[in-house]
Structures are given as structure tokens and as C-alpha cells.
Amino acid sequence: MSAGPLIAVLDYGMGNLRSVEKAIEHVGARAKVTSDHEAARRAAGIVLPGVGAFPRAMDRMRTLGLDELIAERVANRTPTLGICLGLQLLFESSEELGGSDGLGLVRGTVAKLDAPGLKLPQIGWNEVTWRRRGQLDDGLPERCAFYHVHTYAPAPASEQDVLATATYGSDFVTAIDHAPVYGVQFHPEKSGPDGLRLLANFIRVCDAGLARAA
């Protein structure tokens, strides 16, 4: 078993948790899929995955008290990474299915992709352009492709939170850096070596947090 930091992969019943767990272990960390609050409090980092509809996901999060748990961990500066729907949940609200409030950890909203004439959801590889250098994209080329599956994308209120964009009909935000909160619209666990590099970068952020707390 890896001696790396423990990462809690939050389980609220909506996400491909096993593939995320395996990818985290592959890059040298320990992963625990859990909805248990105490287990998450012991972790050096939090990963919030997700596939499905925003309102249902938030209902599940609130039922399990994971909304309050994540807010607590972020307040304690625990690195937190949202993946796909998990990225969207970090924001204040989404227009999906009539609208729903989100976790509100990052200012901004989530809206449907502006992609006239293109099939939704977007499914497949799409080139990502890093808008600045942050901790997630360390060592990655300025442009690289990641695997996307989504109909909605976030619109951060602050340009400073935008780490990367991609284009599907029009430009959309596909990665954010609002430390200690990070997020990607794509699936790094399904995106080959570049996706694993991004996850390894997140693990390094978690390691650095442990070192500061020691």
C-alpha cells in the first residue's frame, strides 16, 4: 500500500468512484471512498467527483451533511478538488433543471454550454488551454487534451479563478484554481498521462499542506 497522503473521495451516490480511487492510488496516494465525516476529517485532501444532475447531487450532499463537511474542511485550508459535476457543485448556483443553489465555495454560476448545432452533452477529448500557471498544471504543456462529458460548465465571477479554458461551440471554463479549492470539468482519471500528472500535482499540494501543519 502507498505511504502517500490519505485522500478522501466523497461518496454521495453519484460518480464513478472506483476509477478516481484507482487513479489516485496510481500516483502514489492512499484513497478512501467515504461519506463518513470523521474519515474525511483525517484526510490530507478531499476529492469531490460527480456525474449526473446538479440539483439531485446537492440534495444528496445536504442529506449526508457533506455540504457542511466540505465547508469545514475548506475553512481549515484542506486542499479540495472537484471533478466534472463536482467542479460545478463548488459554485453558488446552477441553472440546470430549473436552478439550484450550490456549495458557494467559489463565486459564480453554472450554465448550459453555448454550442449551437453541436450535440450535447459534449463527450470526448477536447484541447485545454492553460490561462496561467497554477499548482494543478505544473509540468503540463500549455495545450493538452482531456476527456470531457458534460452539458453545463461554470462561469467564475472572478477571472483570477480561471485556470484553463476549452472550446465547444464557444469558450468555456474547464479548470479553476481558488486555493485551497480546485476543480476540473474534465475527467483526469480517464485522460491518460496528462490526467495522472494533474492528479499527482494535486497530491503534491496535499503533501505540502501536511508539511505546513506538522
Helix (H, G, I), strand (E, B) or coil at 59: helix
Q: Is 123 contained in some domain?
A: yes
| Active-site hit among 96, 148, 189, 206 | 189
* Number of compact structural domains in the chain: 1
CA pseudo-torsion sign 14, 34, 92, 78: negative
Closest CA to 183 of 90, 75, 110: 90
CATH assignment of the domain containing 103 = 3.40.50.880
- Scored b (16 or more CB within 10 A) or e, 161-180 reads bbbbbbebeeebbbbbbbeb
Q: Is residue 91 part of a domain?
A: yes
Q: What is the pLDDT of residue 1?
A: 43
49 falls within a domain: yes
Check residue 12 and give its pLDDT.
96
Q: Catalytic: which of 84, 96, 148, 150?
A: 84
Element (H, E) at 37: helix 37-41
Residue 21 included in any domain:
yes
* All cell numbers assigned to 169: 461551440
* From 148, 150, 178, 187, active-site residue: 187
Range(s) of the domain holding residue 179: 6-213
CB atoms within 10 A of CB 129: 14
84 assigned to active site: yes
Q: Is 187 a catalytic residue?
A: yes
pLDDT for the residue 3: 74
Q: Is 26 a catalytic residue?
A: no
Which uninterrupted H or E stretch holds 60?
helix 54-64
Is residue 1 one of the residues assigned to a domain?
Answer: no
pTM recorded for the entire structure: 0.96
Residue 118 has a pLDDT of 98
Please give the distance of CA 17 from its chain centroid, rounded to a whole number. 13
Q: Is residue 82 part of a domain?
A: yes
Q: Cα-flanking dihedrals φ and ψ of residue 83, to 5°? A: -120, 125
Regions of the chain with pLDDT less than 50: 1
Q: Tell me, yes or no, whether 37 lies in a domain.
A: yes
